[in-house]
Amino acid sequence: MVSQPENLLPAMQNFVSAGQTLAQNFFAFLAKQPGMTPPPAGTLPPLKLPSPEEMQALHQEYLKQHAALWAAMLAKRQGQEPGFAVQPEPGDRRFNAPEWSETPMFDYIRQAYLLNSSFLRQVVEAVPEEDDKAKNRLRFMARQYIDALSPANFAATNPEFIKQAVESKGQSITAGIQNLIADMEKGRISMTDESVFEVGKNIATSAGQVIFENELMQLIQYEPLTPKVAKRPLLIVPPCINKFYILDLQPENSLVRYAVEQGNTVFLVSWRNPKADLEKYTWEDYLEKAAITAIEVVRSVCKVDQINALGFCVGGTILSSALAVLAARGEDPVASLTLLTTLLDFSDTGEIGLLIDDNFLALKESQIGQGGLLSAKELSSTFSALRANDLVWNYVANNYLKGKKPDAFDLLYWNCDSTNLPGPFACWYMRNLYQNNSLRIPGKLEMCGVRVDLGRVAMPSYILAAREDHIVPWQTAYQSTRLLGGPSRFVLGASGHIAGVVNPAAKNKRSFWSGSDQKLDADSWLAAATEHKGSWWSDWSAWLQQFAGGEVAARSKLGNARYKPLEAAPGRYVKEKAV
């Protein structure tokens, strides 16, 4: 038996060749991706590659590590300490099962894959690309490629699949095929047991009435839960990219219910799921017919000059833009503004921004810019790709290889309940905000017939970002404190884009940071900030009380003579499925 690493060198030549092929295949794959390398005059320009000297050095190190891995495998087989092991990155749970290390063959497959992954990342880092966005795009695409090639994704190289198949006498294979066929008919991967949930029955159950609707949205007013309420009501504008009930999943984690319990009269915009009849709707339609209209209805129902308003994610961008329009018209209908994980400055948009460039936008504008839909399927696939191991390949392995049914989880049910977007709206949003970052520049954008300036949005604001947010980087959300004209309180929550927001006060989990000098840059602000254990909800509620405008008796009837209840919450718009 060969036991010395130097005697393995002839065999290792195969792995050098494999490394070369891996890099070549990746760059061939990359050249075919839309928006990565726009083809002038119908031809693809040559991709930049590392120098021959760098590639040779990388291959030599690759050879050396594979030799060490083979030697470690031989030592382990002889009962000796291996002395060398390739470890997954922190948080990588794909190879946690003992089957991956109990059998020498699968132990080797696992470690060789990790070694190949590391090599490809090094190749990408060696690419002589000076543009940061282009380099980050390469890193993103490399991760997609690496994740897709994981041995955990294939029956022949996944020991968990084999064990499950043997123990179940093939039943897991049958179940996996049935799961695959069902998902193919559905057109997407199942992430949860969707039969458990029903909107309005066991999620989105906060009591209320739809008191207004138009072709774009319904406005819900929720029933009070306290004998007295703040004089100024609270209007919530959720993102139109998803359904609103992320803020009203279950009573114990519902921000809507919490706000009502704190003595607020709460109204909420429920967006229509666009079909062909809305395919020509624009960004301005969403401002004028939804956000601005909702503000006026809420003021009318509660008979107040000013309300409090909250926007979440894209809903926050829409709400802030609407307030900038109203400010340009000389109107001041909002006393306080809350923004949750919202972008106003789009200088760093995380990995989503890597997928949007002039070439991609030109394609989309030609397809749907004047009419059409950006489909829910495309949106969902894009967001899933940002966390492919968690939201794609995890379910491929569990549903199809192991034949398991996903567990029931309300948040994942919401995640799968996707929405379309009107093409003109989506193209304007991506072009003017994501690509050109024009909202931050006073007077550059015209909306609803006026030039807008966020500096004229001068009410006090509460700005929440989430520290691990991969959709709205917290440092970018922090820039909103410099753009809005009024005094702001910036708070940084723990966790990500959703869990950082849906963090119930009653459970008192995680933590948040607040309180340092907002004249500092983002990282310096965090270094000086104070950490508080528990949820930011209580902090926000205390802040919001300053703008209550006094107290009044809670209304026994919802709506008013002009805006009468039309149907019970959550209304029919939120139940419409994307097609």
pLDDT tens profile 288-302: 999 999 999 999 999
Residue 7 pLDDT? 37
CA atoms of 70 and 52, how far apart (whole Å) = 27
Residue 21 pLDDT? 55
Which candidate in 302, 313, 427, 448 is catalytic?
A: 313
**What architecture (CATH level 2) is domain 208-348+438-575?**
3-Layer(aba) Sandwich (3.40)
Residue 463 pLDDT? 98
Question: Is pLDDT at 309 greater than 80 in this prediction?
Answer: yes
290 near 269, Cβ under 8 Å?
Answer: yes
pLDDT-based confidence at 171, cuts 50/70/90? very high
Mean pLDDT of 123-147: 85
Between residues 473 and 131, the one the model is more confident about: 473
pLDDT-based confidence at 185, cuts 50/70/90? confident
Residue 33 pLDDT? 47
Mean pLDDT of 44-73: 81
Mean pLDDT of 272-299: 97
CA atoms of 375 and 275, how far apart (whole Å) = 10
Token output for 420: 């379309």
pLDDT-based confidence at 6, cuts 50/70/90? very low
Q: Classify the phi-psi angles of 487: left when phi > 0, otherwise alpha if psi is within -120 to 50, otherwise beta.
A: beta
Residue 132 pLDDT? 82
pLDDT-based confidence at 472, cuts 50/70/90? very high
Which of these, 149, 115, 140, 153, lies nearest to 12 by C-alpha position? 115
Asked which of 33-47, 50-64, 114-128 is least confident by mean pLDDT, the reply is 33-47
Question: Is pLDDT at 555 greater than 70 in this prediction?
Answer: yes
238 near 312, Cβ under 8 Å?
Answer: yes
For residue range 501-519, list pLDDT tens digits in order. 999 988 888 899 998 899 9
For residue range 243-263, list pLDDT tens digits in order. 999 999 999 999 999 999 999
For residue range 405-419, list pLDDT tens digits in order. 999 999 999 999 999
CA atoms of 13 and 10, how far apart (whole Å) = 6
Question: Is pLDDT at 234 greater than 50 in this prediction?
Answer: yes
pLDDT-based confidence at 22, cuts 50/70/90? low
CA atoms of 64 and 319, how far apart (whole Å) = 57
Between residues 83 and 119, the one the model is more confident about: 119
DSSP single-letter state for residue 458:
-
Residue 24 pLDDT? 55
313 is catalytic: yes
Close Cβ partners of 40 (under 8 Å, ≥ 6 residues apart): none
Residue 18 pLDDT? 47
Residue 15 pLDDT? 39
560 near 301, Cβ under 8 Å?
Answer: yes
| DSSP letters spanning 277-331 | GGTT--HHHHIIIIIIHHHHHHHHHHT-S-EEEEEETHHHHHHHHHHHHHHHTT-
Q: Exposed e or buried b for every residue in 173-194, given b needs 16+ CB within 10 A? A: bebbeebbeebeeeeebbbbee
> Cis omega (within 30 of 0) on the bond before 504?
no
Residue 384 pLDDT? 86
263 near 226, Cβ under 8 Å?
Answer: yes
Residue 28 pLDDT? 57
Question: Is pLDDT at 54 greater than 60 in this prediction?
Answer: yes
Question: Is pLDDT at 27 greater than 90 in this prediction?
Answer: no
- Residue 579: HSE in the Cβ half-sphere, 13 Å Cα cutoff: 6
Mean pLDDT of 181-192: 88
pLDDT-based confidence at 34, cuts 50/70/90? very low
Residue 103 pLDDT? 85
Between residues 456 and 13, the one the model is more confident about: 456
Question: How many C-beta atoms surround the C-beta of residue 339 within 10 A?
Answer: 28
Percentage of the chain exceeding pLDDT 90: 70
Between residues 46 and 349, the one the model is more confident about: 349
- Residue 312: HSE in the Cβ half-sphere, 13 Å Cα cutoff: 24
Question: Is pLDDT at 470 greater than 80 in this prediction?
Answer: yes
For residue range 353-404, list pLDDT tens digits in order. 888 888 889 999 999 999 999 999 888 888 888 888 888 899 999 999 999 9
Close Cβ partners of 116 (under 8 Å, ≥ 6 residues apart): 18, 19, 22
Domain ranges of the chain: 5-167, 208-348+438-575
CA atoms of 444 and 410, how far apart (whole Å) = 41
Question: How many C-beta atoms surround the C-beta of residue 129 within 10 A?
Answer: 16
Question: Is pLDDT at 547 greater than 50 in this prediction?
Answer: yes
Residue 16 pLDDT? 39
CA atoms of 334 and 237, how far apart (whole Å) = 13
Residue 391 pLDDT? 87
pLDDT-based confidence at 8, cuts 50/70/90? very low
